[in-house]
């Protein structure tokens, strides 16, 4: 496991792993550095504390028939899944934990403990509950409950690099798509669409304009419900950029291996999809005029309306400043915009919501930030005009759970509606299409996750705060009234071990008006008469907000495990904080827009103001010694703290950073920096600004990172060396984007980070 340290530029690479392991930290010295024993205690704190709670529950998942729900809870020695029957609330195990652990361990090639199953939720694969499915390391798995065998599931269809460039080395799923009436079968042959009779003898439709460079994609075939038409996309393929990575120490070979990944980057040519309509009876082909959807970044798979008279698809223009629902008449092929959303900055593509009422295209429910907050609107799908705004106020719709067309009601999650409460707390509501009869379903002042039964009669409400252990309650979906308490967290033993809840802190941001929310984690032996260096855990990605709101250390919304890591670091003699500055999501549109074309901002003016406000209130908070750490986008922000705000931040531990946005994945970066690639991409580049580095820097990344091109980190190294800057660096062989945080050498990585900060900050440097 190589560990290269650049103590002096141009003096070469020194392998220092053996020294790092052989020379543990001495006992606390005159500068207050942590002793070896203190360091080891922090490294293993998660393991020591993680199993001290009882009945701390995770969100539930319902059985397909809605007669029961299952959830995970803490028990003696670990975690166990429990199945609760709606009839009588009887409880049982949903599966044999020991047999499942044995089967999964066999499939993974490593031992799994029955009370340490490596997933937090599962769903049933079928109505008979014969198998369960869950995610493991970002891949789908299935385990049979009949014979207890486990297997990794294959992703269906042809892969696409970040959703926009097809991997043409993998064959498309070209199985026959049978029409709803069973009379016809559609496939692609020699790049052209072919429709045959069910028996396969009569060719009814055959296109002739498909070529390898402009082919029909069988995975986009969509039949009309009356079987009279189908729509398919003809594809002009984009640029198949591949990132190459060397596996220096592969487990199955002495010699290094070269690995390749389809990895489109900002500005690359992407697949261009052209909708084409076919009339089955006549064989007529209509290429849909793309005037209303030019230069698409994304077209969704076509959806036919219930009456078969028209089809629709979602469109996002490249650059993310326009989104539309495009409707196409089945008879004429004429297209019109059923909904149009324009933005001067960005349309937040991942938070779009569209629902076609009754499936007929006459009314469409749509989420929009056009009034400055994310709300729901009802559109006339024929004219594209707003019929009425459904939700309204200085708060944010976070998710639409269910739309009931017959009752004309919507169940949704929102945050910021309740005065005097943390504006990020999620609550659940029901409202009518006309915006009337708003019903609050989750009254407790906490952060909620609701899982509704298939028939929408009940839901399991799992709620908590950082200072409130998790409570799980069965409620009626009609009014939120409680049916029964399912579980209630008990932290008696955790408190006895020294646990103290993190403290929310609110201060004004850069404008002197906007509340900025953060979290403070202090050492378990905190002494207010002492002064403590400060370390900020940063993640400023515009795609969400990140300060944990659920109970520590088992947060299921955002960052429970990260808070555990913050406590581990705090116990070495620091105050560790996390802050959501401007530019992050889940507040107003104006709050979010700060990130547009300015990822270097990272909310730093708000963060520094927040730090100063806490220091003014708490003399033990020493902002003359502030460190910062983060991973991925947080790694980029960490480096930028030392490049652009080195007068405030003195040390940074940057992990797996996307240090130059031109080097990173296309999807995330074009969403926030737009298209075409312009100067905003280089404004936040650690490569371009490496000469500005001040303070202590440690760079860490995984050799096999498939999320962020690891060459981005090495390019920063190159620029820092050329600029004559001292820094430390560690590349972890074989590791992914998690760089040891969720798997692999986690203890080693933690030990290196903890040592770095005790050396960089405790000595007052």
Stretch (H or E) spanning 589: helix 589-593
95 and 10 fall within a common domain: no
User: Which pLDDT belongs to residue 559?
Assistant: 46
Report how far residue 211's alpha carbon sits from residue 178's, in angstroms, rounded to the nearest whole number: 24
**Is 488 in a helix, a strand, or coil?**
strand
pLDDT at 35: 83
**What pLDDT is recorded for position 9?**
28
Q: Distance between terminal CA atoms of the chain? A: 29
Give me the pLDDT at residue 740, please: 55
Say whether both 9 and 82 belong to one domain.
Answer: no
Q: Is residue 388 part of a domain?
A: no
Last residue of a domain, one of 155, 173, 195: 155
Taking alpha carbons only, the member of 318, 326, 211 closest to residue 277 is 326
Residue written as token pair 């929009």: 368
Q: What CATH number does the domain containing 742 carry?
A: 3.40.50.1820
- Asked which of 120, 139, 155 is the last residue of a domain, the reply is 155
> Kind of pairing, strands 139-144 and 131-136?
antiparallel
Q: Are residues 12 and 151 in the same domain?
A: no
Alpha-carbon distance of 726 to 7, in angstroms, equals 5
Same domain, 741 and 707: yes
Contacting residues for 483 by C-beta, under 8 A, at least 6 apart: 458, 473, 474, 475, 476
Q: Where are the beta strands (DSSP E) in 343-446?
A: 354-356, 363-368, 375-380, 386-389, 396-404, 409-415, 426-432, 439-440
Task: Kindly state whether residues 707 and 652 are assigned to the same domain.
Answer: yes
Cα distance between residue 26 and residue 12, in whole Å: 28
Query: Is residue 460, in this structure, part of any structural domain at all?
Result: no
Query: CA torsion, points 209, 213, 219, 220, in degrees to nearest 10?
Result: -60
pLDDT reported for residue 26: 34
Residues 14 and 127 in one domain: no
Task: Write b or e for each residue in 311-350: b if 16 or more Cβ atoms lie within 10 A of its Cβ, otherwise e.
Answer: bbbbbbbbbbbbbbbbbbebeebebbbbbebebebbbbbe
User: What is residue 40's DSSP assignment?
Assistant: H
Predicted local confidence at residue 50, as pLDDT: 84
Residue 480 lies in a domain: no
Q: Say how many C-beta atoms besides its own lie within 10 A of residue 727's C-beta.
A: 23
Report the alpha-carbon angle 54-57-63, nearest 5.
135
All residue ranges of the chain with pLDDT < 70 are 1-33, 553-562, 740-744, 763-765
pLDDT at 31: 43
DSSP, residue by residue, 95-116: S-HHHHHHHHHHHHTS---GGG
- Sign (positive/negative) of CA torsion 273, 274, 277, 280? negative
Give pTM, 2 decimals: 0.93
- Please report whether residue 219 resides in a domain: no
Domain residues for the domain of 97 are 61-155
Provide the token pair at 513: 């008006």
State whether 65 and 40 are in the same domain: no
419's CB contacts (< 8 A; 6+ apart) are none
Same domain, 670 and 741: yes
Whether the CB-CB separation of 419 and 389 falls below 8 Å is answered with no
Look-up: residue for tokens 């769903």? Answer: 123
- Is residue 302 within 8 A of residue 234, CB to CB? The reply is no
Q: Are residues 15 and 90 both part of a single domain?
A: no
10 Å CB burial of residue 680 (0-12, 13-18, 19+) is middle
Same domain for 67 and 38: no
CA distance 576 to 532: 10
Kindly report the number of other CB atoms within 10 A of residue 163's CB atom. Answer: 15
Domain boundary among 137, 155, 173: 155
Which two three-digit tokens encode residue 710? 């690891």
Cβ neighbours around 18 below 10 Å, total: 9
Same domain? 616 vs 573: yes
Contacts of 29 (CB under 8 A, 6+ apart): none
In a domain, 218, yes or no: no
Q: Cα 498–631–317 angle (5° rounding)?
A: 130
Number of domains in the chain: 2
Element (H, E) at 37: helix 36-43
DSSP bridge partners of 654? 630, 699
Residues 11 and 119 in one domain: no
Distance CA 21, CA 38 (A): 16
CA distance 117 to 100: 9
Identify whether 518 is part of a domain: yes
């Amino acid at each position: 496991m190589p560990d290269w340290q650049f103590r002096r530029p141009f003096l070469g690479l020194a392998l220092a792993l053996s020294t790092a392991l052989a020379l543990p930290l001495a006992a606390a010295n005159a500068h207050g550095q942590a002793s070896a024993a203190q360091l080891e205690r922090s490294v293993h704190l998660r393991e020591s504390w993680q199993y001290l709670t009882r009945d701390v529950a995770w969100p539930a998942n319902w059985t397909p028939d809605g007669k029961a729900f299952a959830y995970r809870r803490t028990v003696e020695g670990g975690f166990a899944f429990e199945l609760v029957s709606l009839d009588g609330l009887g409880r049982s195990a949903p599966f044999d934990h020991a047999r499942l652990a044995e089967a999964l361990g066999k499939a993974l090639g490593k031992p799994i403990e029955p009370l340490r199953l490596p997933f937090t939720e599962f769903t049933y694969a079928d109505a008979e509950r014969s198998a369960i499915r869950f995610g493991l390391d970002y891949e789908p798995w299935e385990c049979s409950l009949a014979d207890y065998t486990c297997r990794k599931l294959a992703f269906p269809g042809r892969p696409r690099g970040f959703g926009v460039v097809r991997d043409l080395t993998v064959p498309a799923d070209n199985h026959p798509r049978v029409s709803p009436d069973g009379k016809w079968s559609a496939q692609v042959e020699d790049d052209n669409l072919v429709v045959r009779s069910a028996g396969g003898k009569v060719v009814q439709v055959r296109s002739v304009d498909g070529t390898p460079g402009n082919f029909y994609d069988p995975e986009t075939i969509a039949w009309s419900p009356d079987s009279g038409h189908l729509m398919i996309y003809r594809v002009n393929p984009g640029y198949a950029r591949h990132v190459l990575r060397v596996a220096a120490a592969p487990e199955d070979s002495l010699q290094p291996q070269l690995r390749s990944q389809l990895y489109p980057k900002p500005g690359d040519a992407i697949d261009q999809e052209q909708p084409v309509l076919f009339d089955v009876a006549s064989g007529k082909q209509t290429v849909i005029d793309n005037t209303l959807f030019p230069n698409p970044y994304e077209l969704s798979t076509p959806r036919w309306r219930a009456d078969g008279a028209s089809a629709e698809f979602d469109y996002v223009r490249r650059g993310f400043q326009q989104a539309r629902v495009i409707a196409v008449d089945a008879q004429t092929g004429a297209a019109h915009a059923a909904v149009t959303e324009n933005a001067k900055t960005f349309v937040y593509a991942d938070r779009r919501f569209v629902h076609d009422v009754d499936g007929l295209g006459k009314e469409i429910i749509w989420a929009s930030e056009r009034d400055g907050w994310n709300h729901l609107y009802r559109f006339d799908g024929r004219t594209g005009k707003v019929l009425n705004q459904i939700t309204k106020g200085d708060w944010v719709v976070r998710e639409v759970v269910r739309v009931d067309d017959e009752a004309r009601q919507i169940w949704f999650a929102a945050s910021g509606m309740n005065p005097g409460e943390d504006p990020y707390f999620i609550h659940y509501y029901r409202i009518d299409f006309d915006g009337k009869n708003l019903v609050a379903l989750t009254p407790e002042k906490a952060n909620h996750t609701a899982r509704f039964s298939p028939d929408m009669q009940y839901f399991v409400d799992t709620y908590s705060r950082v200072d409130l252990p998790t409570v799980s309650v069965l409620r009626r979906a009609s009014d939120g009234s409680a049916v029964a308490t399912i579980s209630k967290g008990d932290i008696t033993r955790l408190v006895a071990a020294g646990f103290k809840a993190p403290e929310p802190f609110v201060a004004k941001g850069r404008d002197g008006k906007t509340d900025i929310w953060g979290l403070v984690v202090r050492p378990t032996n905190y002494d207010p008469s002492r002064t403590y260096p400060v370390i900020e855990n940063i993640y400023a990605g515009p795609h969400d907000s990140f300060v944990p709101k659920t109970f520590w250390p088992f947060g299921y919304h955002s960052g429970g495990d990260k808070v555990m890591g913050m406590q581990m670091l705090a116990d070495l003699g620091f105050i560790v904080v996390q802050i959501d500055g401007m530019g992050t999501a889940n507040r107003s549109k104006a709050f979010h827009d700060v990130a547009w074309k300015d990822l270097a901002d990272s909310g730093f003016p708000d963060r520094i103001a927040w730090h100063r406000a806490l220091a003014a209130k708490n003399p033990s908070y020493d902002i003359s010694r502030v460190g910062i750490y983060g991973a991925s986008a947080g790694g980029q922000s960490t480096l930028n703290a030392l490049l652009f705000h080195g007068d405030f931040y003195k040390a940074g531990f940057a992990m797996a950073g996307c240090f130059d946005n031109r080097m990173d994945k296309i999807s995330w970066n074009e969403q926030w920096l737009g298209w075409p690639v312009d100067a905003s991409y280089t404004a936040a580049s650690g490569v371009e600004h490496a000469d500005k580095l001040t303070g202590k820097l440690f760079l860490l990344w995984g050799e096999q990172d498939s999320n962020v091109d690891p060459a981005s980190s090495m390019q920063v190294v190159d620029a820092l060396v050329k600029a004559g800057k001292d820094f430390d660096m560690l590349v972890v062989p074989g590791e992914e984007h998690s760089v040891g945080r969720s798997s692999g050498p986690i203890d080693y990585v933690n030990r290196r980070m903890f040592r770095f900060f005790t050396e960089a900050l405790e000595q007052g440097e």
